[in-house]
């Protein structure tokens, strides 16, 4: 038996044991602190989220037909669109403040009726407040793995006012490969001096393979717009929604009448001399409908193959059929079809069964579908006679008879 050690001394076997316990305590403490730190980081990250991670709906793995995009470095800089792009998952985050384009005053769509409210994401009724639609989804979409980028638009709806441009844009925004700014930017007619970088900053972020779009109906009748858009990119695709110019003029007058009930009658504005049948071409409601004259300016800068003329009447009668033509023109897979629409008998035009960013049906807002004032039948006949030669020239230029003279 070994002799006892000095008084007060601990057995040597206890020293490794105490060190082992101490090491385990330190390891547990470090693990706890690490877990708390990770939890804190996750909690901070989660506070920035306004919604769950969602996948892209529709469209499968295919991307659009190759085209040409535009970077913001200058009018001549072009970036190729990939033929196919892998779908990335999207993260819905807290909305960020954005610079708003100037409000419309006397052209295109009305400022109040065309600005979008914060309820829906690009629903039918405003890509673009009177209409119950949203300028952007209820949060800005950013990529989980890649934030995407803002591009100058590769396609623009350039007109015409009261032709159906709002409906066309909102129908297109259902497509997963289309990203469009809601409010009308009015860059090429009012804000051109602010530069392409300012214009690009108004656009939504896009993934590879997606098309950036905007619509400003007053571009079609703005003399400087064709050259300015061509300077940005000669490859820009242009969409023009046209409608019977007589019906369009009455709709235009109806919109103005809703804002200024004291304006003169439609007849007194439309004619310089009613008894002689002299139409006043200087009145904007009449002048916009001279489609052939406006188109001549555009054809000096863009070939006809880069312009698509959408029938406003057919957009009401057969929205899926007309959207099929538009999707083909833009090089998009045909995703928007009859299943996306239903006809609202009260309003008299088609509505989306499910608007972008919403699970509920939605129609254009209260500024759309206003009842037109009664116009004397003789006045309408005189206007149809006035427009007939311009219409026929327009049919020849576009290669399509829109049937407005029947």
Distance CA 301, CA 231 (A): 9
What are the tens digits of pLDDT across the range 214-228? 999 999 999 999 999
In order of 49, 76, 148, 386, the CA distances from 196 in angstroms are: 31, 11, 19, 40
As a whole number, mean pLDDT of residues 111-126 equals 33
Q: What is the pLDDT of residue 75?
A: 40
Sequence-distant (≥ 6) Cβ neighbours of residue 230 within 8 angstroms: 236, 301, 302
Strands (E), 72-208: 78-80, 90-93, 140-143, 149-150, 155-159, 178-180, 205-206
The β-bridge partners of 49 are 93
Q: What is the pLDDT of residue 356?
A: 53
What are the tens digits of pLDDT across the range 343-370? 776 666 688 876 555 555 557 655 555 6
Mean pLDDT of the chain: 76
Distance CA 3, CA 25 (A): 34
pLDDT band at 76 (very low <50, low <70, confident <90, very high): very low
Residue 304 Ramachandran class (φ > 0 left, ψ -120 to 50 alpha, else beta): alpha
What are the tens digits of pLDDT across the range 367-406? 555 688 899 999 999 999 999 999 999 999 999 999 998 6
Q: What is the pLDDT of residue 40?
A: 66
- Phi (first) and psi of residue 321, to 5 degrees: -65, -45
As a whole number, mean pLDDT of residues 75-82 equals 38
Please choose, from the candidates 240, 220, 241, 215, the residue with its C-alpha nearest in 3D space to the C-alpha of residue 163.
Answer: 241
What are the tens digits of pLDDT across the range 149-190? 999 999 999 999 999 999 999 999 999 999 999 899 999 999
Q: What is the pLDDT of residue 235?
A: 97
In order of 31, 35, 77, 276, 301, the CA distances from 64 in angstroms are: 49, 45, 21, 54, 25
HSE-CB at 358 with a 13 A cutoff on CA atoms is 25
pLDDT above 60 (res 8)? no
As a whole number, mean pLDDT of residues 33-49 equals 62
As a whole number, mean pLDDT of residues 240-259 equals 96
pLDDT above 50 (res 193)? yes
Q: What is the pLDDT of residue 389?
A: 97
């Amino acid at each position: 038996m070994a002799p006892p050690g000095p008084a007060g001394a601990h057995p040597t076997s206890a020293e490794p044991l105490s060190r082992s316990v101490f090491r385990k305590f330190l390891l547990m403490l470090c693990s706890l602190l690490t877990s708390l730190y990770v939890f804190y980081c996750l909690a901070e990250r989660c506070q920035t989220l306004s919604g769950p991670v969602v996948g892209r709906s529709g469209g499968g793995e295919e991307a659009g037909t190759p085209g040409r995009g535009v970077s913001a470095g200058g009018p001549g800089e072009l970036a190729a669109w990939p033929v196919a792009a892998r779908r990335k998952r999207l993260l819905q985050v807290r909305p960020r403040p954005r610079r708003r384009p100037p409000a419309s005053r006397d052209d295109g769509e009305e400022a109040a009726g065309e600005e979008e409210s914060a309820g829906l994401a690009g629903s039918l009724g405003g890509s673009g407040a009177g209409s119950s639609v949203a300028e952007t989804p209820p949060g800005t979409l950013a990529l989980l793995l890649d934030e995407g980028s803002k591009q100058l638009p590769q396609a623009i709806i350039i007109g015409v006012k009261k032709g159906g441009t709002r409906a066309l844009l909102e129908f297109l925004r259902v497509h997963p490969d289309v990203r469009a700014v809601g409010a009308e930017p009015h860059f090429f007619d009012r804000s051109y001096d602010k530069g392409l970088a300012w214009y690009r900053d108004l656009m939504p972020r896009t993934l590879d393979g997606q098309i950036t779009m905007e619509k400003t109906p007053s571009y079609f009748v703005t003399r400087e717009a064709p050259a300015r858009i061509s300077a940005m990119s000669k490859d820009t695709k242009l969409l023009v929604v046209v409608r019977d110019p007589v019906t369009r003029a009455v709709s235009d007058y109806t919109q103005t009448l809703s804002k200024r009930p004291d304006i003169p009658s439609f007849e007194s504005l439309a004619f310089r001399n009613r008894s002689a049948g002299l139409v006043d071409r200087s009145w904007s409601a009449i002048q916009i409908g001279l489609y052939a004259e406006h188109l001549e300016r555009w054809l000096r800068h863009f070939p006809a193959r880069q312009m698509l003329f959408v029938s406003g009447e057919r957009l009401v009668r057969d929205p899926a059929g007309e959207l099929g033509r538009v999707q083909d023109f833009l090089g998009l897979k045909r995703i928007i079809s009859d299943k996306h629409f239903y006809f609202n008998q009260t309003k008299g035009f088609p509505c989306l069964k499910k608007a972008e960013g919403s699970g509920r049906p939605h129609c254009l807002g209260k500024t759309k579908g206003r009842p037109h004032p009664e116009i004397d039948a003789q006045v309408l006949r005189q206007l149809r006679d006035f427009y007939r030669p311009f219409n026929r020239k327009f049919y020849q230029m576009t290669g399509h008879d829109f049937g407005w003279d029947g």
